[in-house]
Amino acid sequence: MKTENFMRLEFPSHSANESFARQAIACFAAQLDPTLDELGDIKTAVSEAVTNCIVHAYPDCIGIVTMKAKILKDNVLQITVRDHGCGIPDVEKARQPMYTTGGSERSGMGFTIMESFMSDLKIISKPGLGTTIQMKRKLSRKGVRP
């Protein structure tokens, strides 16, 4: 698909940067004139993806998180969140609700939330090399009926 606009951010996996990523994607997505519900869904999905990088990809160190966003034709927002951390040994198992490697304080719902708030979710991971999460969401134009 042809890209109409794009952005790229890199930041360390400090927990404070989860909020930064949420706000950055909200600002970028605003040009598509999303509804408040759509914007909330997008921010929540990005929050889950970045939190996974912080908690799971780099559990014992600080690493780099890369977030890219593209606006594609037909009002589609594509977001990619990538780390170079420990990777996920079994992606299908990790996608199951309530599964977590983060201890009892984690809910294990991150991928489920991302999947429910976005139109499309792809997870690519290799142990020792990191994880890439690609999400897409087709947005409605306010005031325009489908």
CA distances 58 to 64, 65, 112, 114, Å, are 9, 10, 21, 20
105 counts as catalytic = no
Kindly report the pTM of this predicted structure: 0.85
* 87-101: average pLDDT: 69
Per-residue pLDDT for 52 more than 60? yes
106 counts as catalytic = yes
List, in order of start, the domains of the chain with CATH numbers: 3-138 (3.30.565.10)
Strands in the chain per DSSP E: 3-12, 64-72, 76-83, 120-126, 130-138
- Predicted pLDDT of residue 4: 81
Distance CA 21, CA 127 (A): 25
* 86-109: average pLDDT: 66
- Predicted pLDDT of residue 145: 44
- Predicted pLDDT of residue 20: 97
User: In this structure, what DSSP letter does residue 61 have?
Assistant: S
Task: Please pick, among 52, 82, 92, 137, the residue that the annotation labels catalytic.
Answer: 52
Percent of the chain having pLDDT more than 70?
82
DSSP track, 14-77: -THHHHHHHHHHHHHHGGG---HHHHHHHHHHHHHHHHHIIIIISTTS--EEEEEEEEEGGGEE
Per-residue pLDDT for 146 more than 50? no
Rg (CA), the chain: 15
Task: Please pick, among 17, 18, 48, 137, the residue that the annotation labels catalytic.
Answer: 48
Span of 18-22, 61-65, 112-116, 119-123 with lowest mean pLDDT: 112-116
Residue 45: other Cβ atoms inside 10 A: 25
Per-residue pLDDT for 63 more than 70? yes
48 counts as catalytic = yes
Per-residue pLDDT for 143 more than 70? no
- Predicted pLDDT of residue 140: 84
- Predicted pLDDT of residue 106: 52
Q: Are 6 and 50 in contact (CB under 8 A)?
A: no
Task: Please pick, among 4, 22, 75, 106, the residue that the annotation labels catalytic.
Answer: 106
Distance CA 136, CA 146 (A): 18
Per-residue pLDDT for 122 more than 50? yes
